[in-house]
Amino acid sequence: MKTACFFPDRYIAVMIAAVITGLWEGLVHIGILSPLFFPPPTVIAVTLFRWLFNGKLTPHLAATLSRALTGFAVGALSGLAAGLTMGWSERVRTVTDPFIAAAHPVPKIAVFPLIMIIFGIGEMSKIAVAALSAFFPMAINTVTGVRQISPLYFEVARNYGAKPFKMFTRVIIPGSLPMMLTGMRLALNNSLTLTIAAELVSAQKGLGAMIWLSWETLRTEELYASLIITALLGICFNMLVQFAAKRLIPWQKGIS
Amino acid sequence: MNFKCQELSKVYSPDNRTIPVLENVNFSVTEGEFVCIVGPSGCGKTTLLRLIAGLLEPTSGQICFNAGENRKQPRNVMVFQEHGLFPWMTVLDNVAFGPEMQGTGKHEGRELARSLIIQTGLADFSQCYPHQLSTGMHQRAAIARAFAADPRMLLMDEPFSALDAQTKLLLREELLRIWKDRRKTVVYVTHDIEEAILLGDRVLVMTGRPGTVREDIPIPIPRPRNLTDGDYPRLREIKQHIWKMLEHEVRQSLSRYR
Ligand SMILES: Nc1ncnc2c1ncn2[C@@H]1O[C@H](COP(=O)(O)OP(=O)(O)O)[C@@H](O)[C@H]1O
Ligand SMILES: [Mg+2]
């Protein structure tokens, strides 16, 4: 329910953020907070703007983006294919279920050293770990999506004489699309997380490398600035999927 | 299309139990007939329809169809109680689903769908998704979809039971109007005795379970029929008769649930 409040809730959140930032700035200046751990927000902002205009940020951002997105594309597409096959065929599902169940809970970053041995320390290993982390949520959510389609709709389609191809394009795909998009959101988040984690360990370029370098050189304001960029990237990814959901599933209550 | 059920039986066997649902069901339906099947909840009406639709196999017995294989018409189309429309398609796409499955051209299929949408009074809602419709409009669309598929027979499973009394009356009239235009064979399942005798050329009374057709009552009274007018004492008589036959069953099932 919306009441005629002088400050809508959204503005209250913005005001709280502003107050905290102001307090932070003030506390550093009067010497209560150490600028070594908490560089004043103004300094962080200046760092961000410097990066934006001196071109230092672009190559790092580009490296992270291309790794995360390539990994996402490879992982999510194969996850989608796997998920649809598993959702479609009971036999495939029975055979593959134990493997998925065993492999899914393994934290993918733990596999990274192994992946580096196989793919080398170049781009491939980072893309591979991102792809691996995108594969599982995509596959699992797609299977769930196909499985939760009410049997009624399969029956209706069959009753109207739908052939397998039409069953696929008119029932299975649209029926599982909401879950697929959930899988996509998780897959995108995972590939970003894993890309940055991999970059922390082994990269010259990328947001992860930036974060690591600012820690090594104890430039805390750069650490904060890289974190802000990373957070913004994550938010962008989520908004992208939300936008896609709005366009692709207009029949879902509550989305449109 | 006419068909004949011969000694039809169905036993469900979920996890090692056996549930006999239909036992020795016999009846026949002739071309263009509107046959109502009435019976208490759980007596196997839906099961019987699904057998006729070919969505289930009988445990024993058979159904003989005499369809005279013509064109690419589907043999039958089922209308469900509710939620039968695809939630991911607009009303238009839902109604055009039959023609689409039959390989009719997209344009032609949509034209066909549009004319049925207009006939069922949904012209303003053709671009809506099912969740935006009231239950009444939803069932109108389901009926439009069934007729758009131009099946040789319609199987309707309590299509109006989720509607309020007013809407129910309206939709019954509309159904009869469309049916008169096209003279399809209709098998209409309901638990509502009044509905059965208002709509059907014949009423099959089922008891059970295991369900079986206990009586086959012809209703040679012209439509539209009305129970409240004084004109149709015969209808009330039939209603009384069926009610007596089912009363015992209903009481039994009530005491079972208590
Ligand atoms: N797939 C099934 N497996 C086991 N039992 C079922 C199944 N479908 C229906 N039944 C049982 O069969 C009986 C008849 O069901 P149904 O045909 O839906 O009756 P009606 O439509 O007359 O209410 C019910 O008791 C129901 O519980
Ligand atoms: Mg039923």
Predicted confidence (pLDDT) per residue in B89-99, tens digit: 999 999 999 99
Q: Which domain holds residue B42?
A: 11-69+152-255
**1.20.1180.10, 1.10.10.10, 3.30.420.40, 1.10.3720.10: which CATH number matches A58-213?**
1.10.3720.10
Residue having the nearest C-alpha atom to atom 16 of ligand 1:
B44
HSE value, Cβ hemisphere, 13 Å, CA-based, for A126: 28
Residue that finishes a domain, picked among B149, B169, B195: B149
Q: How much is the average pLDDT of B40-57? A: 92
Cβ-defined contact of A251 to B101 (cutoff 8 Å): no
B203 with B124, same domain: the answer is no
pLDDT 10s digits, B204-254: 999 877 889 999 999 988 888 887 776 678 888 899 999 988 887 777 766
CA angle A230/A234/A237 to nearest 5° reads: 140
B162 with B237, same domain: the answer is yes
Averaged confidence pLDDT in chain B: 90
- Paired tokens of B242: 């069926």
pLDDT 10s digits, A30-55: 999 898 899 999 999 999 999 989 99
B227 with B243, same domain: the answer is yes
Q: What CATH number has the domain bearing residue B180?
A: 3.40.50.300
Query: From the CA of B81, which ligand is nearest?
Result: 2
B144 with B160, same domain: the answer is no
Ligand 1, residue B157: give the atom nearest the CA: 21
Q: Kindly state whether residue B120 falls inside one of the protein's structural domains.
A: yes
E-assigned strands of B31-109?
A: 34-38, 60-66, 77-79
- Paired tokens of B204: 């099959």
B159 with B249, same domain: the answer is yes
Helix (H) or strand (E) holding A254: none
B105 with B233, same domain: the answer is no
Contact B10, B21 (CB under 8 A): yes
pTM of the entire predicted model: 0.87
User: Is it the case that residue B67 has pLDDT exceeding 80?
Assistant: no
B145 with B163, same domain: the answer is no
How many domains are contained in chain B?
2
Residue that finishes a domain, picked among B128, B149, B170: B149
Ranges of H-type helices in chain B: 45-53, 91-95, 97-101, 106-119, 135-148, 165-182, 193-199, 233-257
Cβ-defined contact of A174 to B130 (cutoff 8 Å): no
B166 with B233, same domain: the answer is yes
Domain ranges of chain A: 58-213
Q: Please tell me the distance between residue B193's alpha carbon and the centre of ligand 1 in angstroms.
A: 20
B185 with B245, same domain: the answer is yes
Measured between beta carbons, which residues in chain A are less than 8 angstroms from residue B84?
A: 152, 156
